Amino acid sequence: MDVAGTALGILAASWGVVMALSPILQIRRILRRGSSDDVSIGYLFVVTFGFVIWIAYGATAANAVVVVPNVVALLVGITTIVVALRFRTARAWGGPRRMDGPERRETGPIGKDRLASPR
């Protein structure tokens, strides 16, 4: 490989590692909020499985530029899933909702939702 190709490969792998670490921002947000209710667990599983496929491809092609960032991404992805599952509330899983806050709704006379009046 020529110098330009090698340099581009190093740049791509380095940026891939930065991208692989970016879900740490989501982990930080989950920890600060104490909830992962607004995080799509399905999305995390799909993306994380994609990293496994890229690692397999990179390994068969003996291409560290593909393997290294995807291994980092896989580890961070698994960590993100674990944290997201740990901080999931019953509400996110379809469990009972609290009915004492302003989000409580009542059905109006023609079936339209309206906010409940304060008591």
Residue 100 inside a domain? The answer is: no
Residue 98 counted as domain residue: no
- Does residue 25 lie within any of the structural domains? yes
* Angle between the N-to-C axes of helices 64-86 and 3-21, in degrees from 0 to 180, rounded to the nearest 10: 0
Give the C-alpha separation, 27 to 22, whole Å.
9
Angle of helix 3-21 relative to helix 23-33, nearest 10 degrees? 10
| The total number of structural domains that make up the chain | 1
Look up residue 101 and give its DSSP letter: S
Q: What is the pTM of this model?
A: 0.71
Residue 113 carries which DSSP code? Answer: E
pLDDT tens, position by position, for the chain (119 residues)?
799 988 998 999 899 999 999 999 999 999 999 999 999 999 999 999 999 999 999 999 999 999 999 999 999 999 999 999 999 987 766 766 555 545 545 555 565 555 555 55
